[in-house]
Amino acid sequence: MDVRILDTADQIAVAAGELFVRQIKTNPQTILGLATGASPVKMYQYLISQYRNGYLDFSKVKTYNLDEYCDLPRDDKNSYYTFMHENLFNHINIKEENVHLPNGNAPDMAAECASYDKMIADIGGVDIQLLGIGTNGHIGFNEPADTFTEGTYKVKLTDSTIKSNSIYFDEGAMPRFAVTMGVGTIMTAKKIVLIATGESKQNAVYAMVRGEVTPHCPASILQQHPDAVIFADRAAAAKLL
Ligand code: PGA
């Protein structure tokens, strides 16, 4: 695990963004694993600026997102489909057919999950996977549990995740289920980049980096990944300093 502590979220956006820029410049047909939430937004802005400067071309890039809510229309303002378009896809030259998110409204969820994993495996796996971390140590929607999850699956969200994310929803409208890549799927990525900022992530970052590898902190599995880079600002890294 390569832990890089920087002063500000803006510095992290550039440093993490540069890893993605380099990957796409090296291989224009890169397979990106992408994340939603507050953590990646500034990095997406950096990638957009590099595209606008004429430095990056997304025309052959394919993307696979970590997760999506269940029981929320795809075009809902809070869907991850909408989030990704508003924060990245609408501002770069990626082809819509190259954009993938799991379908949280699929009639047969088991088939949807199996086909999402198969799609990723068939194209040779994700080259570089972006992650945030939940205050409870979750990655994607893999919540603390007694065992590590494997492939993509439908998950019941924990109270702490519902509390964190319900700020975006009108009262009572927060979905209770989501579909997410499993920890096993995430770990197949060739490179993983995790961004953690702010004091609320202190305990999760400490458990991920210094704690034992345990499904009670799903992000701790990244200690076993051969190429995981963790970017934390000083607030998120406070307990490591
Ligand atoms: P955040 O969420 O980026 O909005 O803090 C991260 C996560 O819950 O994985």
100 counts as catalytic: no
User: How far is residue 191 from each of residues 19, 86, 177, 229, measured CA to CA in Å?
Assistant: 10, 25, 28, 8
Share in percent of the chain as helix, strand, coil (round to 5): 40, 20, 40
- pLDDT given for residue 160 in this prediction: 84
Ligand 1 nearest atom to the CA of residue 197, by list position: 5
The answer to whether the CB of 132 is under 6 A from ligand 1 is yes
The answer to whether the CB of 133 is under 6 A from ligand 1 is yes
Q: What is the pLDDT of residues 144-200, one digit of tens each?
A: 999 999 999 999 998 888 988 999 998 778 999 999 999 999 999 999 999 999 999
* pTM of model > 0.85: yes
Q: Does the CA dihedral 211-37-168-116 come out positive or negative? A: negative
CA-closest candidate to residue 53, choices 17, 27, 86, 29: 17
